[in-house]
Amino acid sequence: MTQLWPTLIILGPAGLLIGIGLSIAARRWQDHSDTMIERINKLLPQTQCEQCGHPGCRPYARAIARGEADINRCPPGGDTTIRALADLLGKQVKALDSSCGEHKAPLLAVIDEQRCIGCTLCIQACPVDAIAGAAKWMHTVIAAECTGCELCLPPCPVDCIDLVSLADQPQRRIPAHVQIPDLAA
Amino acid sequence: MTRMAAGAPHIPAQTSVQKVMAQVLLALLPGILAYMYYFGVGILVQITLALLFAYTFEYLSLSARQQPLRNYLCDLSAAVTAVLFALSLPPLAPWWCSLIGMLFAIVIAKHLFGGLGQNRFNPAMVGLAVLLISFPRIFTHWSPPAMLVDNPLSMLEVLRTIFTTQPPPGMSWDAITQATPLDQLRTGAATGLLVTEVRQGPVFGHFGGLGWEWIANWYALGGLWLLWRRVIHWRVPVAVLLTTFMLTTPFYLFDPDANPLPLQHIFSGATVFVAFFIATDPVSGSATPRGQLLFGAGVAIIMLAIRRWGVYPDGVAFAILVMNMFAPLLDQYTRPRVFGHPR
Amino acid sequence: MSGDLPVMIHPAGAYLHGFHGGLKLRHYKQISTARALAQPPLPEYLQLSLQQHAGSPAIAVVKPGQHVTKGELLARAGDGLSAPVHAPTSGTIAEIQTLPLLRKPARSAPSIRLHPDGEERWHPDCERSIGNWRDFTPAQTMQRIAASGIVGLGGAVFPTASKLSSQWQTPAHTLIINGAECEPYISCDEMLMREHASEVMLGARIVAHALGITEIVIAIEDQLGALASALETARSQLNDEHILVVRVPAVYPEGGERQLIKMLTGLEVPSDGYPQTLGLACINVATAWAVKRALLDREPLIERVITVTGAIAEPRNWLCLLGTPIQHLLQCSGGLTDPGARLVIGGPVMGEQVTDPALGIDKGSNCLLALAAEQLREPQQSMPCINCGECVRVCPAMLMPQLLYHGIRKGDHALSNRLQLTDCIECGCCDLVCPSQIPLTDYFRAGKQLQAQQRQQQARADKSALRHAAREQRLQDEAAQAARKEAERQARASNPDQAQAVIGAALQRARLRKQAQKHNRNDTDGDTS
Ligand code: SF4
Ligand code: SF4
Ligand code: SF4
Ligand code: SF4
Ligand code: SF4
């Protein structure tokens, strides 16, 4: 028993020190860094739809990096994005938080140019400046830039914006026996 | 008319897991018959027991994992595991050897890893290794070859021995079993005998163990048939045999008194059996051409090292298991160059 | 000149190089070669897709109700890579509708329905003389080939003129005519060569002439002994010692351009390159024939040879107008012998299932195969991969199909990327040897498609991120500027004296500047005077 004391005296504080060091390190490297935010942001679909409750994908990425938001809040990304995030952050994959919205196939906004009154409200709402037009002139959506975020819909006073499916023509149909995670999403 | 178009190719593969396994079993037949001829009917009992336990465990595991029974019970992979395992047991080993061996082989090595195709280790060798480690004494009780026995044991006596785990009344273990040639070499070396002197012993044949050398030939015949059927390919067996030969030859030439003939290594113990039937197990081996060469060579090197320096007379099971660990790495680092890409 | 060329093709019977992997498949070609090449009766209608080629769809230049003559232009080439479509016979345009593609049923494109009038009246352009091809410049020949709607008739349907005019990293030295039809059942190239050997050679000569070369190699499978002698006869008639007939061992998929080139020359076309990278041009037999007809007979590409075989009452090769409906071809061939048979366009290993027999054959349709029900595979019954390595052994692209399969199943695109999924030629060899009967090629096609989709999505997302950031920046700047202005305004409002002073100072500065300018001007005036 007398043998034990020196050991305890040496190892005890050493252990304590190491423990403190580790916890500081953990806090320190709990990655708030911009690179972590960038890496998370890279996995988000960049629809900028704000359904996650953040004003855009990057803010959501920042919230995730800080541990302030869960990883299952992005409807446009769906399961694929959740899986990628879980992978990156070493977290459990979980189902999409349905309070944020449902996953949908990618969409594209189209303005009915006959009905548009040129009020510019949609331009102000569009997060990626994908609408071209000036006051009193008819507006149009630049198809290649629109993310289908739907943010331009509510402000339009004449409801002249529609969403159409953006699905590219598939090269081939994939037979039912092919089971791939991305296909389930 | 929006039927789901079935993808090409439209014609089926001409092979199946079941066919592959059936051919392996068929190729083992000559070896098994020779085994029976030289060492008695004990091996048949062992095979039957192993099959019985293997399929019991296979059935239970599949049911527990809720896998389609019909497909998987018919694939014959459990049968191959069982037979390979039984062929590695001494013919008079107690009945529970198969029970323990198959428990570890089928339940732990195979199904806990995810079943057919998912096992990282060769199931039969896992079963064998467990027995080797836990009950090494069993493996000292090998039957002597038939030429050395005046009145071989009857079927009844064999059964009684296996199930009571005792030698038949009026006989002792020593009377019905004998150390294997490899064992004798090892003990000989330990007691300072020259190899040439040990080889004077009755269990040695022309160049391998008496009986063993013939069984090895029959195994080789089956293996060649598998090669011809393209069920296995030349790289693994050639790598095992060639490495064994090339590593033992310098030793032999350097000091023929202390080192056995290279052919001795090949024709006693399980070298040929391993080269054609165990090391060629696809699941736990390497799939690339260069990987297979390395795999075979690795098995041979470790096997010889264990024979020479280890505590076990024949290190095949461990050699295979060690190389199994390296197989994924081999696959990764021996990946072929893709067509049209620079070297 | 050939001394310093990097490529040597050895004379017939001499050394061939072989390629990794591949399979020896049973041929079944005799089924369809017993009957002679013939033309089917005119069908009730022709269904001509405007997407019969790689690239963008052709653009219709005719209207429903319009009468057209044989060989008349129906649709001009679209933008970029594309090819025109011509009327295979005279008749009336019934309608133009969007229909699925025959060989890519997941996609659709406009399609013209033509009702033949049975008169087969040629368009005047096809009867006007165009002069001798030997006098043509290469550009003229290529233009002619392009205008005739000629694409790779082996199945890749890449516009031939575009192919022959680009990517020449090495000066052209040899033209390879690909007659190695390696898929079972298909015999259209063989029949074409049997009946029109010298025309094929003429076509090859025209192409070679346009490329400024003389060396021509015709590759055929070594099992076709009779064909080889037919080609020899044609060659001696033409008396051209630059044409070489090489018999290559029948290993599937050597009809693939890259495999054939490896076999003939020992060289590998780089993964991101083309045969032209090595100074080789490689075209299909039927393409060569189409070139001959375009330049000597002034006929655009309006028909092709198609093998109708398998579970068919009278299997044979038809010389058949493009757009001929599948069901018409079946009827002419006596119908199916097995009602449960699956119709496949192309061969049994790489073909595409026919989803709608009312569709017409396109430029790339080399075979209509009816596979009896008992010959079909059922991919649902696959077992787990046992890592046997058979697929590695046969993969002509030298991939590791089993690892690719694992990667794709896990959704690990990074892994399948690293394993070069894009180099898979979808030949199906791995499927045919897999003891676990895994539909590997289906997975690879799906994986490629998902990968492409993902790349596209990523590109889109990257762009959106940039635009979003730019907008945020703009809003911030605007807000900051507004805030600054507001602050200044308030400052002015709260301190009128200072405001006056500021204004005074500004006026003073302006005055000074004006004076300085005047001064300057005077100076320069002085200089010039
Ligand atoms: S929910 Fe919308 S804004 Fe939020 S991360 Fe997803 S795409 Fe971006
Ligand atoms: S146009 Fe509408 S849907 Fe498209 S990005 Fe802008 S706001 Fe979103
Ligand atoms: S909000 Fe509607 S009406 Fe106003 S500019 Fe946009 S599209 Fe036109
Ligand atoms: S052939 Fe099939 S079972 Fe064998 S390694 Fe390839 S995928 Fe696996
Ligand atoms: S389909 Fe792809 S992976 Fe399979 S053998 Fe052909 S090239 Fe290789």
Residue with tokens 């389930």: A184
Q: Is the pLDDT of residue B4 over 60?
A: no
Query: Best mutation site among A171, A173, A178, A183 for testing chain B: the one with the most B CBs within 10 Å?
Result: A173
Interface contacts A/B by beta carbons within 8 Å: 9
For chain B, first and last CA: distance in Å?
48
**Mean pLDDT to the nearest integer, B265-283:** 85
Residue of C nearest to A59 (CA): C469
Distance A147 CA to ligand 1 centre (A): 11
Residues A86 and A119 in one domain: no
pLDDT of residue C223: 74
Q: DSSP secondary-structure letter at C341?
A: P
What percent of chain A lies above the pLDDT cut of 90?
4
- The residues pairing with B142 across neighbouring beta strands, listed in sequence order, are B178
Atom of ligand 5 nearest to the CA of C404: 3
Check: CB of residue B35 under 8 Å from CB of residue B226: no
- Give pLDDT, residue C8: 46
A44 lines ligand 1 (CB under 6 A): yes
- C430 C-alpha to ligand 5 centroid (Å): 6
Residues B166 and B221 in one domain: no
Q: Are residues A111 and A164 in the same domain?
A: yes
3-state helix, strand, coil in chain A (%, to 5): 35, 10, 55
Cα A50 to ligand 3 centroid, rounded to whole Å:
20
Task: Indicate if ligand 5 lies below 6 Å from the C-beta of C28.
Answer: no
B250 touches B262 (CB < 8 A): no
Q: Among A24-38, B288-302, C68-82, whose mean pLDDT is lowest?
A: A24-38
User: Do the chains contact at C105 and A129, CB–CB below 8 Å?
Assistant: no
In a domain, A49, yes or no: yes
Q: Kindly report which listed range (A111-120, B169-178, B216-225, C178-187) carries the lowest average pLDDT score.
A: B169-178
Which chains are adjacent to chain A, needing at least 3 Cβ pairs under 8 Å? B, C
> Same domain for C230 and C106?
yes
Instruction: Considering every ligand atom shown, identify the ligand nearest to the alpha carbon of residue C23 and give its number.
Output: 5
Classify residue C332: in a domain, yes or no: no
Q: What is the pLDDT of residues B150-170, one digit of tens each?
A: 666 777 777 887 887 777 776
Domain boundary among B154, B177, B200: B177
Clarify whether residues C59 and C205 are in a common domain: yes
Alpha-carbon span A76 to A67, nearest angstrom: 21
Taking the CA atoms of C159, C288, C22 and C435 in sequence, report the sign of the dihedral they define: positive
Ligand 3 atom with the shortest distance to the CA of A156: 1
Confirm or reject contact between C407 and chain B (CB < 8 A).
no
Could C408 and A180 be called an inter-chain contact, meaning their C-beta atoms sit closer than 8 Å?
Answer: yes
Please check whether residues A72 and A126 belong to one and the same domain: no
Last-in-domain residue among B177, B199, B215: B177
Q: Give the ligand at the shortest distance from the Cα of A122.
A: 3
Q: What is the pLDDT of residue B2?
A: 35
**Among B177, B200, B221, which residue terminates a domain?**
B177
Which of A39, A60, A182 to mutate to test binding with chain C, by most C CBs within 10 Å of its CB?
A182
Distance CA A151, CA C400 (A): 46
C-beta of A50 in contact with ligand 1 (< 6 A) = yes
Q: Report CB contact under 8 Å: B5, C350.
A: no
Same domain, A116 and A162: yes
Mean pLDDT value across residues A63-73: 89
One-letter amino acid of B41: V
Distance from CA of A175 to the nearest CA of B (A): 6
What pLDDT sits at residue B306? 85
CATH of the domain at A151: 3.30.70.20
* A173 found inside a domain: no
Same domain, B157 and B131: yes
Is the distance from CB of C160 to CB of C55 less than 8 angstroms?
no
Interface mutation vs chain C, best among B339, B341, B343, most C CBs within 10 Å: B339
Query: Rounded distance, CA C458 to CA C451, Å?
Result: 10
> Where do the H-state alpha helices sit in A30-152?
34-43, 57-65, 78-89, 121-125
Who wins on pLDDT, A3 or A171? A171
Co-location of C398 and C290 in the same domain: no
Same domain, A91 and A50: yes
With CA atoms as reference, the chain C residue closest to A182 would be: C411
Question: pLDDT tens, B184-206?
Answer: 666 666 666 666 666 666 666 65
Asked, for residue C150, whether it belongs to a domain, the answer is: yes
**Cis status, amide bond into B9, omega within 30 of 0:** yes
- In angstroms, the CA C432 to CA A50 distance is 49
Q: Quote the pLDDT of residue B186.
A: 64
Supply C210's token pair: 């346009």
If asked whether residues B216 and B158 sit together in one domain, one would say no
Residue A25 reports pLDDT greater than 50: yes
Task: Choose from A159-163, B52-56, C384-388 the range with maximum mean pLDDT.
Answer: B52-56
Tokens of C25: 């498949």
Q: Encoding tokens for residue B224?
A: 């060649």
Domain count, chain C: 2
Range of the domain at B112: 1-177
Tell me the residue type at B46.
Q
Please give the share of chain B, as a percent, with pLDDT higher than 70: 83
Nearest CA in chain B to C384: B117
Nearest CA to ligand 4 atom 2: C434
Q: Which residue has the tokens 């490899």?
A: B182
pLDDT at A112: 86
C425 lines ligand 5 (CB under 6 A): yes
Q: What share of chain B is helix, strand, coil (3-state, %, to 5)?
A: 65, 0, 35
For the ranges A88-102, B128-142, B204-218, C77-91, the maximum mean pLDDT occurs at: C77-91
Distance of CA C268 to CAs A14, B338, C394, Å? 63, 10, 17
Alpha carbon of A155: minimum distance to chain C alpha carbons (Å):
19
Examine the domain organization and report whether A79 and A133 are in the same domain.
Answer: no
Q: pTM, whole model, 2 decimals?
A: 0.82
**By alpha-carbon position, which residue is closest to atom 7 of ligand 1?**
A47
User: Are C245 and C10 within 8 A, CB to CB?
Assistant: no
B165 inside domain: yes
Q: What spacing in Å lies between the alpha carbon of A115 and ligand 3's midpoint?
A: 8
> Per the structure, how many domains does chain B have?
2
State whether C296 and C391 are in the same domain.
no
| Tokens 């198609």, located at residue | C306
Q: Could you list the residue range(s) of the whole structural domain that residue C414 is in?
A: 387-474
CA–centroid distance, A110 to ligand 2, in Å, is 9
Domain assignment present for residue C211? The answer is: yes
Q: Which of A74, A152, A179, A180 would you mutate first to test chain C, the one with the most C CBs within 10 A? A: A180
Rounded Cα gap, residues C113 and C100, in angstroms: 14
Question: What is the pLDDT confidence band of residue A27, given thresholds at 50, 70 and 90?
Answer: low
Residue A48 CA: which ligand is closest?
Answer: 1
User: Given C297, C321, C345, which residue is the final one in a domain?
Assistant: C321
State whether the beta carbon of C422 lies less than 6 angstroms from ligand 5: no
> In what helix (H) or strand (E) does residue A165 lie, and over which residues does it extend?
strand A161-165
Closest by CA to C321, choosing from C13, C146, C66, C71, is: C71
Shortest Cα–Cα distance, A41 to chain C (Å):
9
A112 falls within a domain: yes
Q: How many whole angstroms separate alpha carbon C110 and alpha carbon C100? A: 9
Angle between helices C440-494 and C401-410 in degrees, nearest 10: 40
CB B211 within 8 A of CB B280: no
Instruction: Domain count for chain A, please give it.
Output: 2
pLDDT at A169: 61
Q: Tell me the CA–centroid distance for residue C430 and ligand 4, in Å.
A: 8
Same domain for C404 and C312: no
Is B342 contained in some domain?
A: no
Percent of chain A with pLDDT over 70: 79
Chains that touch C (3 or more CB pairs under 8 A): A, B
**CATH number for position C107:** 3.40.50.11540
Q: 3-state SS of C407-435? A: HHHHCCHHHHHHCCHHHCCCCCHHHHHCC
pLDDT at position A8:
57
Please tell me whether residues C206 and C281 are part of one structural domain: yes
Distances (CA, A) of A154 to A110, A114, A124, A125, A161: 14, 19, 12, 9, 9
**Same structural domain, C149 and C275:** yes
pLDDT at A32 over 60: no
**C127: which 2 tokens?**
């009867």
Last residue of a domain, one of A100, A122, A157: A100
B176 to chain C, minimum CA–CA distance in Å?
A: 41
CA B325 / ligand 4 centre spacing (Å) = 20
Same domain for A118 and A156, yes or no, is yes
- A93: domain CATH number? 1.10.15.40
Strands A107-111 and A161-165 turn out to be: antiparallel
Is residue B341 one of the residues assigned to a domain? no
How far, in Å, are B221, C103, C110, C121, C316 from residue C107 at the CA level? Answer: 55, 9, 11, 33, 30
Beta strands, E only, C71-202 = 73-76, 85-86, 91-100, 108-116, 174-179
At which of C271, C301, C321 does a domain end? C321
If asked whether residues B101 and B18 sit together in one domain, one would say: yes
d(CA C52, CA C46): 14
Do A41 and A87 share a domain, yes or no? yes
Token representation of residue B88: 């590695």
Q: Assess if residue B24 is contained within a domain.
A: yes
CA distance A162 to B21: 60
Beta bridge partners of C307: C317, C367
| ipTM for the predicted complex | 0.86
C361, C383 Cβ separation under 8 angstroms: no
Coil, helix or strand for B56?
A: helix
The phi and psi torsions of C57 (rounded to 5 degrees) equal: -65, 150
Q: Under an 8 A CB cutoff, do B7 and A176 touch?
A: no
The pLDDT value given to residue C13 = 43
Q: Residue A162 corresponds to which amino acid? A: D
State whether B214 and B147 are in the same domain: no
A-chain residues within 8 Å CB-CB of B7? Answer: 172, 175
Q: pLDDT (tens digit, 9 = 90+) per residue, C203-245?
A: 999 999 999 988 899 999 887 777 888 888 888 888 878 888 8
Same domain, residue pair C245 and C107: yes
Q: Which residue of C has its CA nearest to B292?
A: C389
Contacting residues of C for A172, CB less than 8 Å apart: 104, 106, 445-446, 449
Q: Which residues of chain C does A45 touch, with a Cβ-Cβ cutoff of 8 Å?
A: 457, 461
Q: How far is B162 from C476, CA to CA, in rounded Å?
A: 87
Residue B343 in any domain: the answer is no
Please count the residue pairs, one from chain B and one from chain C, whose beta carbons lie less than 8 angstroms apart. Answer: 163
**What is the residue-averaged pLDDT of chain B?**
83
- The answer to whether residue C7 is domain-embedded is no
Clarify whether residues B170 and B188 are in a common domain.
Answer: no
User: Which residue's CA is minimally distant from atom 7 of ligand 4?
Assistant: C402
Closest C-alpha residue for ligand 3 atom 6: A122
Residue C464 Cα: closest atom of ligand 2: 5
Q: What's the pLDDT score for residue C192?
A: 92
Strand partners, C244: C217
The Cα of B4 is separated from the nearest Cα of chain A by a number of Å equal to 6
Q: Ligand 3 atom 3: the closest Cα is on which residue?
A: A116
Residue A53: which domain range?
Answer: 33-100
Helix, strand, coil shares, percent, chain C, to 5: 40, 20, 40
Tokens of B67: 């896998």
Cα-based distances in Å from B13 to B114, C375, C376, C378: 24, 11, 10, 10
Tell me C21's DSSP state. Answer: S
C345 close to C359: Cβ distance less than 8 angstroms: no
pLDDT in tens, chain C (529 residues): 333 333 444 444 446 788 888 888 888 888 888 888 999 999 999 999 999 998 889 999 999 999 999 999 999 998 889 999 999 999 999 999 999 999 888 888 999 999 999 888 888 888 777 778 888 888 889 999 999 999 999 888 999 999 998 888 888 889 999 998 889 999 999 999 988 998 999 999 999 999 998 889 999 988 777 788 888 888 888 887 888 888 888 888 888 999 999 988 888 999 888 999 898 999 999 999 999 999 988 899 999 999 999 999 999 999 999 999 999 999 999 999 988 899 999 999 999 999 889 999 999 999 999 999 888 887 677 889 999 889 999 999 999 999 999 999 888 888 888 888 999 999 999 999 999 999 999 999 988 888 888 888 888 888 888 888 888 888 889 899 999 998 888 887 777 777 777 778 888 888 888 887 777 666 555 444 3
Domain membership of residue A175 (yes or no) is no
Q: Please determine, for residue B328, whether its predicted confidence score (pLDDT) is greater than 50.
A: yes
